[in-house]
Structure 1
Amino acid sequence: MLSRMLLLLLSLSLFSSASSLSCRWMEHKFLQHSNKSLDLIERMARNSTNTTEDAEVNFPHRLYNQASKAAAEDKLVFTVQVLEEMAAMFEEDHSNASWEESTVEHFLMVVTQQAHGLHSCIKSHGHKKQNKKLLMYFKRLSHILEQKGHSAASWELIRKEMETHLKRAEQLASSLLTSST
């Protein structure tokens, strides 16, 4: 009897941990927002006359690899941090970029909605510690922009980096959709 109860409790805990992140927003809105943000950032490139400056950026592949091995909630926390840092980046002076202002504003709106939606799926809703290495990476990008005077070319570099982030963040969050179904 005790072993049956233990097996039942174990099954329930495994089921609840697998389904804990199957919130409605993830199931119904995440991919829609993700596709829209990628479309908008690609549209910014099509409207761009910018060339890319050579700068040492070092995309944080290692951080994404670590996040992909983390618990489901930690994956979401990481993805939310990426989206929030990205939105903050585009709040900086991008007037030298040749992007249409309405496209940038729409992009910011979609990314912010995506971050809020994913945050609503985090069960603890507490403030987990931010990934300090990711924070330092975004500060380094901001510093590159400042060094280059927020030039059109430096913004194109940032845009390309953010496009890669959107793709990697989508993969990370999408892994939660396939593992919870």
Structure 2
Amino acid sequence: MYTKESWTCIFLIICGMQSVCHCCDWIRHHYGLLSAEYLSLLDQMGGDITEQEAPVFFPESLYRRIELAEIKTRILTFHYEDKDRFRNETIYQITKLFDGNMKAVTWDKKKLDDFLNILECQFENLKSCVSPAKKPARRLKRYFKKLNRKVLRKMNYSAQAWELIGKETKHHLQRLDIF
């Protein structure tokens, strides 16, 4: 029977296989596996689940717009790449949030490292699936900058701030998983 560490290694090996298969195939066959793994790790990292709400409104309209674009794809010739670009940009912005001062974090460090490694793997693979021509959604970038400023910096990178970031991160990753 495999341990969690073995499964993490297996998933990271799958990430390295991106050059073997076409990126769209990678999304169909591997994105969900890694997504399930980092959502599981996020739950296992520990820490209190906060009831506090973030002082920055969740960008619900951006997610709805991408979901509507998916419906249009079936009717018109809307490009799937927009959805993949949105996924990639969201994961990139999440990884940037976790670059901050994490001294006060109460999470399991090993699980946190695994979580961040898998997130980075998702980002790298999704990045190879989208053309760099289009600029990322400015509203999404602004949302994450506000989250950084109004939660992490304003709360001095406290354990409570990181719990709030963890809650928001989970919400984003779950929404991305629905796509």
TM range (shorter): 0.7 to 0.9
Please report the TM-score for the alignment, with normalisation by the length of structure 1: 0.75
Change (3 A) 1:55 1:80: closer
What RMSD over aligned residues (CA atoms) do the two structures have, in Å? Answer: 1.8
Letter of the 2:171 counterpart: T
Is the Cα contact below 8 Å between 2:105 and 2:162 reproduced in 1?
yes
| Alpha-carbon distance, 1:57 to partner | 2.1
Q: Structure with the greater relative contact order (CA < 8 A, sep ≥ 6): 1 or 2? A: 1
Q: How many matched pairs? A: 148
Query: Structure 2 vs 1, CA of residues 96 and 52 (structure 1 numbering), >3 Å: closer, same or farther?
Result: farther
Following superposition, the deviation at residue 49 of structure 1 comes to: 4.1
- Mapped pair 1:103 → 2:111: yes
Structure 1 unaligned runs (5+)? 1-20, 173-181
The question of whether the paired residues in 2 share the 8 Å contact of 1:50 and 1:156 is answered with: yes
What is the SS of the residue equivalent to 1:65? Answer: helix
Unpaired runs of 5+ residues, structure 2, are 1-21, 70-78
Counterpart for residue 65 of structure 2:
66
TM-score when normalising by structure 2: 0.76
Contact 1:52 1:154 in 2 (8 A): no
Alpha-carbon distance in 1 for matches of 2:123, 2:108: 23
- Distance change in 2, residues 1:65/1:55 (3 Å): closer
CA distance in 1, matches of 2:53, 2:27: 37
Instruction: Map Cα deviations across residues 10-57 of structure 1 (whole Å, 9 max, x no partner).
Output: xxxxxxxxxxx972211221111100110111112xx21474555422
Higher gyration radius (CA):
1
- Within 5 A, what are the aligned runs for 1:1-181? 23-44=24-45, 47-49=46-48, 51=50, 53=52, 55-70=54-69, 71-122=79-130, 125-143=131-149, 144-172=151-179
Segments ≥4 residues shifted beyond 3 Å: 49-55
Identity of aligned residues (%): 31
